[in-house]
Chains A and B, each alone.
Chain A
Amino acid sequence: MKLEIKDLHASVEGKEILKGVDLSIGQGEAHALMGPNGSGKSTLAYTLMGHPKYQVTSGDVLIGGESIIKLTPDKRVKKGLFLAFQYPVSVQGVSMFSFLRAAYNNSRPPGTEPPTIFEFREEVAAKLKMLSMDETFLNRYLNEGFSGGEKKRAEILQMALMRPKFAVLDETDSGLDIDALRIVAEGINKVSGPDTGSLLITHYQRILKYVKPQFVHVMHQGRIIQSGGEELSRLLEEKGYSWITGYKEEEAAQQPA
């Protein structure tokens, strides 16, 4: 099964941000999406998940050959899609425990019996341990007052419980110190089984030491301007984005209008 993004154009408040994105991710594949700030990486992530503010103006997104662009976000979850947010949203008064339980029950294949509260507790406890998180997490309000690192871990915890087919991880590495980065990266590796296709959005190379992508893509001004293997990320690290974006811009400038 594949997640296919075909010539995707999307706008926010009438302004076109994605200008024809093509990308195909198979289950079991790890892709990294890099690019400077403002290049449209988060816009792609939100558009894939179906944020109502992001309008698809043309192109398509398919999972297993079926278009998902008309589906509400909850229906996309049921198709196996997951997004780890760059900026997770906090919700007052909603306990982590009841939230996780709802997310868990809503991402089971249809017809599966939800676990009892006790079974669920055990399942969560195991995942918390894997991410070096304390059980008191469960008694806090959703993302409320969480540190940057806690929020990112909580996103991976949700991924671990929801077991998606395709996971988009939007800058899950940013704002983490080196220990937290290692824990989160190891978490991502453990959670991504042979059936998970992932798109790891980042603009630093450092997480790629832990999470080894087979494919690296560079986004610039709403398009993927270069794709390659892992070596591409190392080149970017050495030479900076201007190496690639500058070159491409020059080339574009030479084209007749």
Chain B
Amino acid sequence: MIAVVSQKELGAFDESLASALSESRSEPRWLRDIRLDSYGKFKELPTERNPLYTKYASTFGFDISGVGVSPVPAKIDFRSFFQGYLTGKERNILLQGNETQVHAELDDDLASKGVMLLSMEEALRKDERLVRSLFEQRLARPESDKFVAFVGAFFNCGTVVYVPRGVAVDRPLRRMFLLDGPKSGVIDQTFVCAEEGSKVVFLEELYSKGPAASSMVASTVEVRARPYAQVDLSSIQLLDEQALHVSNRAVETLADAKATVSSLELGAAVSRSRTNFLLNGRGSLAEGFEIFFTDAKQRYDFETNLFHNSPDSTGSTQARGVLKGESQSIFKGMIKIVNAAKNSRSYLAHHAMLLERTAKSDAIPGLEIDNNEVKATHSASVAQIDEEQLFYLMARGLSLDETKRMVVLGFFEPVLSRVPIEQTREGARFMIEGKWDGVKRRLVDRETLLAEEGETTPEVRQTEDIFERHYKYR
């Protein structure tokens, strides 16, 4: 069996590369040691295997040894580089072309309160102690995941978002990556830290500028919501169909904190994503909303776990995906509730709709509960599009294609309409419609179109408490 990233291919990523990266970026010694430690774990861990890749490795022929990771020193004119991706009105944004930061700005009032939206290099210059503590208390452990270790050893970029105690950031902070050209490697180590009682929305977007054969985006994003803090993270991925996307997220909520992760995945040849919610504080709340839409030969491998380590914690994750063509997906998810996490509630749902007989999807939910005083449930389904729905809508004059479009877009709504960030919610609808119509649309295109059209269909949102719905009959 060959895996997507075989041991041989990864051979190009060796210890000397990890040291060279550290040196070229003039990193402090402790960080170099962290890289080398991560490298050690990376080498020890077995290659990740997955039936999605092993069978199809040859069809997209991804060769990681071709990926370049050395920093590009050239300064890029960001406005022209990002032309078409920006309206010019964006504020509080960090723009990155491959691994190079090309622009960053943050409103003065936020900066003066101590809010940070910085590249890893900048953050190291400005507040090495903070960065060091984030690294030293990593939530995503390199020994637990080969790609966490990989990113820890070879990251060539990263972002640090920091919100000091009690500061509520009332505008979204954003970052946008543009993957440019073949053989590019963006290896990203990112931290989002919201101190006690603070509040922040962080939106990330991933796009490709042209074909991206043998290109990869690998990232580890750690989110810390300290007591009473609230973090809403959103991630939109529309990479080129030849790119490889690997991501790990670790999201920690301390006492009475709240964190949400909303993700929309549309692009890449292979996307492999893990999210671990660590409910480490009493009364904390974590919610995941995952939406994807695949076609052709795309392969998506998603895993979301809810670890309830404290009493009175509430966690949920809901995924909905639609698969066309010969695309395939796997969802895995685990609810783990430790004995001490009394009175916790947890919910996991995975639903997929297949549009063609050639598409495949598997859902593998699991429960590990060490406590009787909890409510935990999961639901999963994989089904073909419903013929009776198609007939009903066609009997109202809609063509077969319009009908399918309506049913498919509707299928996402029970999850999509719960996404807490308006920009992501509306943007996701717009981008999914685009993919249905065969056009690549970005968030910015929606704003442009809105300005032209001026009329919108009113939004309908689900507000019912999922726990009410699932438990009221018990």
Interface residues of A (CB under 8 A from B): 49-53, 72-74, 76-78, 83, 85, 88-89, 91-95, 97-99, 101-103, 106-107, 116-118, 138-142, 158, 162
Contacts and interface: CB of A to CB of B under 8 A. Distances in A.
Contacts of B20: none
Nearest to B461: A139
Contacts of A95: 457-458, 460
B457 A97 contact: yes
B392 interface: yes
B439 interface: no
B443 interface: no
A138 B457 CA distance: 11
A50 B413 CA distance: 29
B399 A74 contact: yes
B393 interface: yes
A252 B462 CA distance: 58
Where chain B touches its partner, the secondary structure class is helix
Contacts of B292: none
A199 B411 CA distance: 34
A103 to B, nearest CB: 4
Given A52-B391, A97-B457, A103 B397 contact: yes
A140 B460 CA distance: 7
6 contacts: A85-B395, A93-B410, A94-B406, A141-B410, A142-B410, A162-B396
B352 to A, nearest CB: 14
Nearest to A98: B457
Nearest to B403: A74
Contacts of B108: none
Contact of A117 (B386, B387, B395, B457): B457
Given A52-B387, A93-B414, A117-B457, A77 B397 contact: yes
B402 interface: yes
Size band of the interface chain B makes with A: 20 to 34
Nearest to A49: B395
B372 interface: no
B426 to A, nearest CB: 14
B381 to A, nearest CB: 12
B392 A139 contact: no
B413 A106 contact: no
Contact of A94 (B391, B410, B455): B410
A106 B389 contact: no
A242 to B, nearest CB: 33
Identify the interface centre among A53, A83, A102, A118: most chain B CB within 10 Å of its CB.
A102
A74 B394 contact: yes
B342 to A, nearest CB: 34
B292 to A, nearest CB: 16
B5 interface: no
Among the interface residues A77, A91, A93, A162, which one has the most CB atoms of the partner chain B within 10 A?
Answer: A93
A192 B271 CA distance: 55
Contacts of A72: 394, 399-400
A74 B397 CA distance: 4
A153 to B, nearest CB: 16
B388 interface: yes
B154 interface: no
A118 B457 CA distance: 10
Interface string B438-474: 0000000000000000011110100000000000000
A117 B455 contact: yes
Contact of A51 (B391, B393, B399, B403): B391
B395 A102 contact: no
Given A52-B387, A92-B413, A95-B460, A102 B396 contact: yes
Contacts of A139: 458, 460
Interface in B375-418: 386-389, 391-400, 402-403, 406-407, 409-414, 416-417
Interface string B294-325: 00000000000000000000000000000000
Contact of A89 (B392, B457, B458): B392
B370 to A, nearest CB: 35
Nearest to A87: B388
B398 A74 contact: yes
B40 to A, nearest CB: 48
Contacts of A97: 457-458, 460
A91 B410 contact: yes
A116 B400 CA distance: 24
Given A52-B387, A92-B413, A141-B413, A103 B455 contact: no
